[in-house]
Structure 1
C-alpha cells in the first residue's frame, strides 16, 4: 500500500474472512464499542480523525466493506446493499460485539440500521450522519438523479473514470474543500477498473432498492426508542435537511447536531466537532 498516507491513517490493519475474501477493519482503544459503518465511495479512512479522538476512552471498530478501502475487491461478487448488511451481521457475531454504539453514514445507514433492526438487543446507541432509511422515489432531487443512474454511460464512468471518488465525492463537500492529497486516499483504493464494481453497485442500489429502503423505515420501531444522535452536514447537496427532519420524526429519543458549513462528509470536513459531539453524547455532557 505505497499510496497509503500513514501519517493520516496510522492504524494497524486487521482482516476478517468472509465469503472467501478478506474484509479489512480497525480495532482501536478499549471501553464500550463504537462501530463505524461507512458509505460510498469511502472507507474507514473517513472516520480516522474521529477514531483518533475517541479511542482513548472507547473501543473503536471500523470496517471496510468488501470492494472498498483495504478490503478485497473481487471483480465478480454480490455487492448488493443487503449482502453488505449480512456481512456486517457476520462480523459482529464473529467478534462478539455487544452494547454497540452504531455510527453510520451514507449507505452505511441502510446497511447498519438493517442490522440494528434485526438485532436491537446488540445496540445501545445510534449515531447517524447524512443518510436515509426510506424510499426517495417521490423526491424531486432523486427523480433528477435517477435519470443519470439509468444512463448506459454509468458503468463506463464508474469503471473507466473512477467517477465516484474523483468527481462526485469532492463536489459533495461544504465550505471546507478536500485537498488533492486527501482525495488520493479515496481514489487509490479503486486502482483498477476491475476493482470499481462495489461503488458501481451502490449507484445501482439507489435505482433498484428504494422499496427495500422503505421497508426498513416501516420496521424502524425495533430501534426507534434507542438514544440517537443525528450529526448533519447542512450543506449536503444531495441528502438535504428534509432527510434529517424525517429521521427526527421517527426517532423520538434523539438529539441533533447541525453542522452549518459541512456538506455530505462532516466526519472528513470537521472531524474535531464530530468527535466532540459523539463524545458528549456518549458521556452525557
Structure 2
C-alpha cells in the first residue's frame, strides 16, 4: 500500500518500505522488514503501532533484520469495524507473520500489550526465541490487584467504549498522559492519533481495553507458562515514572528469570522507546552484544 494513502505519515521520520501479509481471515497486516542479520521482532501495544520503535529500527537495521508489525486495527494495517480484537487473535496473527517470513532465532522486543502477545508465542516456541527485551508490560492475572479492582467499574462502563470510539480517547488523552518528563511534539502526536481518524477505525483500542476486563485468565495462564523462558537472556528496560506499569511490575517480571538484565530509566513514563529513543537503542545494542553462550 503506497504511503500516499497516508498523507499524515512523515516518511523521513518513518522511512520504511511497506509490506503486507494477507491473513487467513482476509485482513491485511502491515509490517516493517528492514536490514539483514539476526532477527529482531518488535511487538507494540495500545494505542500504538510500529512507529513507536522507529528510532531503534533505524539504529539497528545496519546489523540486524528488524521486523515490526502493526496489529490489525492499528497503524497501517486494516481496521475492520467487526473483528476479533482479543489479544489471543493478535497472538495468532503474530505467529502467522513469523511463519510467513520464516523468522528463526528471534529476539523478541515487546511493550505494553505486546508483552502478552509476543510472550504467548515465546512460551509455545521457546526454542525459536533467543532473547527477550521487555519494556513496561505485564503478564499475569491482575484481577485481584488493588489498582485493577479500583479500575474495574470504569472498564465495565459502557461509557468507556463510547469515549474510545467517538473521542479517540486512548491516543488523544491516555497516551500523552502516560509520558514522564518528556512530552510528544504535535507532529509526533499526530502519528499516534491519525491512524484512528474515524470512529469505525477505533475498535482495536476498544478491544484491548475490554481485554483487561475479560481476558485476565488468559494472562494468568501465560504467566504460569513463563518458567519455560526462565533461562533465556532477558533485558527489562523500564520507565520508572509509568503510571500504569510502574516499578512493582518490573520487580515481578524480574522474579521470572534467572539472570535478568535490568535497566531503570528514572524520568521515563510508559513509552521509553519514544521518550528516550537513543538511550533505549544504546541499551538494546549493548544487550545484543553480550554473549550468553
TM-score norm. by structure 2 comes to 0.96
CA shift for structure 1 position 225 = 1.2
Aligned mates of 1:11, 1:27 — CA distance in 2: 8
- List aligned pairs for 1:75-94, cutoff 5 A: 75-94=81-100
Determine the structure 2 residue equivalent to 1:278. 284
Query: Which of 208, 214, 229 matches 2:214?
Result: 208
CA shift for structure 1 position 212 = 1.1
Query: Which of 18, 21, 29 matches 1:13?
Result: 18
What number of residue pairs does the alignment pair up?
A: 285
Query: Which of 231, 235, 242 matches 1:236?
Result: 242
Aligned mates of 1:11, 1:42 — CA distance in 2: 17
CA shift for structure 1 position 240 = 1.0
CA shift for structure 1 position 181 = 1.3
Q: Secondary structure at the match of 2:263?
A: strand
CA shift for structure 1 position 4 = 0.6
Query: In 2, are the aligned partners of 1:141 and 1:238 still within 8 Å (CA)?
Result: no
CA shift for structure 1 position 191 = 1.1
Say which is worse superposed, 145-154 or 160-169, in terms of deviation: 145-154
The runs of 4+ residues in structure 1 deviating greater than 2 Å are: none
CA shift for structure 1 position 151 = 1.2
CA shift for structure 1 position 138 = 2.1
Query: In 2, are the aligned partners of 1:137 and 1:143 still within 8 Å (CA)?
Result: yes
Q: Secondary structure at the match of 2:45?
A: coil
* Structure 2 portions without partners, runs of 5+: 1-5
Q: Secondary structure at the match of 1:36?
A: strand
Query: Which of 33, 37, 40 matches 2:43?
Result: 37
Query: In 2, are the aligned partners of 1:100 and 1:122 still within 8 Å (CA)?
Result: yes
Aligned mates of 1:85, 1:242 — CA distance in 2: 25
Query: Which of 254, 258, 261 matches 1:252?
Result: 258
Aligned mates of 1:246, 1:141 — CA distance in 2: 15
Q: Secondary structure at the match of 1:164?
A: helix
Say which is worse superposed, 147-156 or 202-211, in terms of deviation: 147-156
- List aligned pairs for 1:141-160, cutoff 5 A: 141-160=147-166
Q: Secondary structure at the match of 2:139?
A: coil
Alignment RMSD: 0.9
**C-alpha distance after superposition, 1:5-63 (max 9, x if no partner):** 11211111000110201100001111100000000000000000011111111110000
Say which is worse superposed, 2-11 or 29-38, in terms of deviation: 2-11
Query: In 2, are the aligned partners of 1:36 and 1:104 still within 8 Å (CA)?
Result: yes
- List aligned pairs for 1:258-273, cutoff 5 A: 258-273=264-279
Determine the structure 1 residue equivalent to 2:176. 170
TM-score norm. by structure 1 comes to 0.98
- Confirm whether residue 190 of structure 1 aligns to residue 191 of structure 2: no
* Structure 1 portions without partners, runs of 5+: none
Aligned mates of 1:270, 1:65 — CA distance in 2: 23
Determine the structure 2 residue equivalent to 1:122. 128
Query: In 2, are the aligned partners of 1:174 and 1:235 still within 8 Å (CA)?
Result: yes
